[in-house]
Amino acid sequence: MADAEVPFAVYQNQVYAQGLGGALPPQPFAYHALEERARGVLTPGAYGYIAGGAGNEDTMRANLEAFRHWRLEPRMLRDVARRDLRTSVLGTDMPAPLMLAPVGVQSIAHADAELAVARAARSTGVPMVLSTASSSSMEDVAAANGDGARWFQLYWPRDPDFAISLLQRAERAGYRALVVTLDTSTLGWRPRDLELAYLPFLHGEGTANYTSDPVFRAALAQTPEQDPLAARAHWAAIFANNTLTWDNLGFLREHSRLPIVLKGVLHPDDARRAVDSGVDGVIVSNHGGRQVDGAIAALDALPRVVSAIPDTFPVLFDSGIRGGADIVKALALGAKATLIGRMYMWGLAAGGEAGVQQVIQGVLAELDLTMALCGYESLSELRADILVRA
């Protein structure tokens, strides 16, 4: 799949060829149609949790609008027969600059949850980032992901011994980098969830990395199996850590050999601070508009962050990607790789492992086709000057 001579665009031909035999794709490709399909199978609580954002969802909309403000200017009569989208970020090779963003509590979308996503990631070659808040333990997800490429996202808990335990488990289970999410020192104000009084964690969803952890378990009077409510209360007490500062980053370095990537960086000064603090990369992200309503669109933050730090420092991007063309724009504005969140969650809800696979194949095909149709063969050609402001 990562072979340069087999462009991802062939997936389109396969879809049409299968149509000759009467087979239609099991789910829609267009973002809104796929979201609607997923909505039809989800409970209102689960749908609202995935679809929703903070406050009046102004930032969620801004994430999408920011992409509409940039336009591609396709170039003609260029040989684009040999496209190569392969790249490598912090030692992780990938067939294209695409990863699966950390999304917690996937059991609310589909019973197979992160295990299905891990298998789809492996079969497509796309690296996944597993959330701390996953519905299966990181060891079980690693087993499902096999020789696939995986990173672990850390919600840095209040209990330092538990944090160390998570770091050690991630390294042992073959996760190749740590993504430390900075934007969730507390949960954002989310009206859709509040209206249904729905927080999946309090129903025991998305806590497998906690309840499977020896340090977490040792802090409880009774096991989570004997007293699930006490386990959930302990989860709530340690989940978020609003005491952290830049000075704490050394703790992670001390207890992990993995590359460290800070997720949720939006301000250029914070990007500079990240570089100075000795971490290995940043993800420009506003958590898909789920944390601070009114925050800057992630795509608008991207070029500001990129221009503040050295070219060699990896900047990744998520928040608002809804198709392959959006990825071309984010790459042009300086992202080394991109991550999708809700897109693959709708695929998971609609079709489990196969649903996620279809989303990934569709995104890769559209990314590849868009590059070809715009006249580009290689990622190095995607620079800010290929875009015009609409």
Round to whole Å and give the CA distance between 267 and 343: 26
Classify residue 57 as left (phi > 0), alpha (psi -120 to 50) or beta: left
Q: Rounded CA gap, 192 and 44, in Å?
A: 10
Cα gap 83→337, rounded to integer Å: 17
Q: Of these, 341, 347, 352, 362, which contacts ligand FNR (CB under 6 A)?
A: 341
Can residue 320 be called a binding residue for ligand FNR (CB under 6 A)?
A: yes
> How far apart are the C-alpha atoms of 160 and 41, rounded to whole Å?
39
37 or 287: whose CB is closer to ligand FNR? 287
CB of residue 15 vs ligand FNR: minimum separation in angstroms? 23
Residues 287/318, Cβ–Cβ less than 8 Å: no
Q: In the window 112-171, what residues touch ligand FNR (CB under 6 A)? A: 131, 133, 153
Asked if 356 interacts with ligand FNR (CB under 6 A), we say no
Q: Which of 102, 157, 281, 334 binds ligand FNR (CB under 6 A)?
A: 102
287 is catalytic: yes
Nearer to ligand FNR (CB atom), residue 124 or residue 285: 285
Residue whose C-beta lies closest to ligand FNR? 341
The nearer residue to ligand FNR, 55 or 320, going by C-beta atoms, is 320
Q: Looking at residue 84, what DSSP letter applies?
A: B
Give the up-direction half-sphere exposure of residue 385: CA atoms within 13 A in the CB hemisphere: 2
Report, in Å, the least distance between residue 100 CB and ligand FNR: 9
Give whichever of 96 and 321 is closer to ligand FNR, judged by the CB atom: 321
Rounded to the nearest 10 degrees, how much is the dihedral formed by the CA atoms of 368, 370, 374, 378? -20
347 binds ligand FNR (CB under 6 A): no
Structure tokens at 90: 């912090």
**CB-wise, 7 or 108, nearer to ligand FNR?**
108
Q: Nearest distance from residue 206's CB to ligand FNR, in Å?
A: 8
Per-residue binding letters, 225-264, with ligand FNR (x by CB under 6 A): --------------------------------------x-
Report the 10 Å Cβ neighbour count for 120.
30
Tell me, by CB under 6 A, how many residues bind ligand FNR: 23
DSSP line for 121-190:
HHHHT--EEE-TT-SS-HHHHHHHHTTS-EEEEE---S-HHHHHHHHHHHHHTT---EEEE-S-SS----
- In whole angstroms, the minimum distance from the beta carbon of 290 to ligand FNR comes to 6
324 binds ligand FNR (CB under 6 A): no
Report angle CA 297, 299, 301 to the nearest 5 degrees. 75
Give the DSSP letter of residue 41: H
Q: Are 88 and 281 in contact (CB under 8 A)?
A: no
Beta bridge partners of 178: 152, 260
| Least distance between ligand FNR and beta carbon 53 (Å) | 8
Closest approach of Cβ 28 to ligand FNR, in Å? 17
Q: Which of 7, 28 has the CB closer to ligand FNR?
A: 28
Supply the residues annotated as catalytic.
287
Site residues, ligand FNR (CB under 6 A): 49-50, 63, 101-104, 131, 133, 153, 181, 263, 285, 287-288, 290, 318-321, 340-342
